[in-house]
Amino acid sequence: MSCINTAVGDTAIIPFEGAKLLADNELRWTHNTRRVYLKKGSQVKLSEFNVTQHGSLMLENVQKDNSGEYKGIVYNAEGTLIKETVQQLCVLEPVPDPTVLVECIEKGVNLTCSAVNNNEVVVSWMKNGMKANATHAVLHVSSSELKSGDNFSCTVSNMISHKSAKEAEPVCSDTGPVYIQQLPIKILTGGGSFLLILFIICLVCVCCCCRRNKRKAKGVFPMNYFVFTL
């Protein structure tokens, strides 16, 4: 049985085609076997929803619990069945805005379309503006397939709506994400600061030794040198 698809909050019409209601007819509507409308002749005895002049059921501001099977029945004044109809209503949430999440892994990257949260959503992928042969929420791209400047986007859709994510350009190395300007920060933090100070001390000592050696080679010595040598 095909489904009448509608979004949460919209108005849904459950049609009763060919009902041809007469003034003395009886009209019944049920939702999942629970009676929601009853009209006998000109008297409306039960009306949870409105009904059009042609006998179709009209639901306003529908919610997900309005989904299900609706059955309409028409009887004549003698109680003889004239016509019946069975319709299926599917109330769906519009898909949310998707986002492409990038996860760098060994020898590749995993791209996840974040808005996929149920089986009613269909996923499609675009690579560099062209449709990719992938329909899963997670798209794996190997390092050999990933080129500099490649961008990816996903589209999610259901029977009532569709939305696309902004393009994402993954940047990964063979061992994981590429982090820029982390090395200088690490050198200046933690144990790296001690190594830097030690390096400066060694550099000063080397410079002093070089100066002393140059003075010896020229025969020029400071006054305190002679005092200590005498």
Phi first, then psi: give them for residue 16, nearest 5 degrees.
Answer: -125, 80
Please name the residues in contact with 226: beta carbons below 8 A apart, sequence gap of 6 or more: none
pTM over 0.85: no
Total Cβ atoms within 10 A of residue 15: 16
Q: Which residues of 143-165 are buried (b: 16+ CB within 10 A; e: fewer)?
A: eeebeeebebbbbbbbebeeeeb
- Which residue type, as a one-letter code, is found at position 34? R
Distance CA 3, CA 176 (A): 46
3-state secondary structure of 89: strand
Please report, in tens digits, the pLDDT of each residue of the chain (230 residues total).
789 999 999 999 999 988 888 999 999 999 999 999 999 999 999 999 999 989 999 999 999 999 999 999 999 999 999 999 999 999 999 999 999 999 999 889 999 998 777 677 999 999 999 999 999 999 999 999 999 999 999 999 999 999 999 999 998 765 444 433 333 333 334 455 556 666 677 676 666 666 666 655 555 445 444 443 43
CA dihedral 143, 146, 151, 155 (to 10 degrees): -70
